[in-house]
Amino acid sequence: MNTDRHQATDATQPIRFDTKIAVLLREDLEPWQRLNVTAFLVSGLGTAVPEVVGEPYEDADEVSYLPMFRQPVLVFEGTKETLTRAHARTLTRALPRAVFTSDLFTTGNDRDNRAAVRAVPTAELDLVGLAVYGPKNAVDKVLKGARMHP
């Protein structure tokens, strides 16, 4: 799903993207949970949508660093209901997405995480976080009712 049209005329101009990476967090999370959920959620996007990952970094001493997302990750918050509606919208729009449910706070490994999500029907997931990637206008519609994280 590479819908980006890199909008730059030369190497000195900023690159603009037609896409958006966004994370929606449930507003009642503790600060440590917000950070943990955000990190987990965005980790899935780079594997499913490799074009969101930029080139590796290198400092002036030629020390190499891992590549990161090529565009900002916008973080939003909302109520449990806002999150449920946003999740439903990602499904109807078939956008790449990652979910984090409240059950994942009680598991201790990847296998148990996947089993915890698999055990619950879609409509009954107790979502605390959602990451989504896609065209800006589609992501904006998914996030309707959410507000920027403070």
As a whole number, mean pLDDT of residues 90-117 equals 95
pLDDT (0 to 100) of residue 1: 46
Beta bridge partners of 19: 135
pLDDT band at 15 (very low <50, low <70, confident <90, very high): confident
Query: Is 135 exposed, middle or buried (CB count within 10 Å of its CB: 0-12, 13-18, 19+)?
Result: middle
Range in 7-16, 84-93, 110-119, 140-149 the model is least confident about: 7-16
Instruction: Give yes or no for residue 75 having a pLDDT over 80.
Output: yes
The sheet carrying 73-78 orders its strands as: 97-101, 127-135, 19-26, 73-78, 147-148
pLDDT band at 10 (very low <50, low <70, confident <90, very high): low
Cα separations (Å) of 57 from 6, 18, 49, 60? 20, 23, 20, 10
Phi, psi angles (nearest 5°) of residue 82: -60, -45
As a whole number, mean pLDDT of residues 40-64 equals 93
Residue % of the chain over a pLDDT of 90: 79
Instruction: Give yes or no for residue 150 having a pLDDT over 90.
Output: no
pLDDT (0 to 100) of residue 103: 96
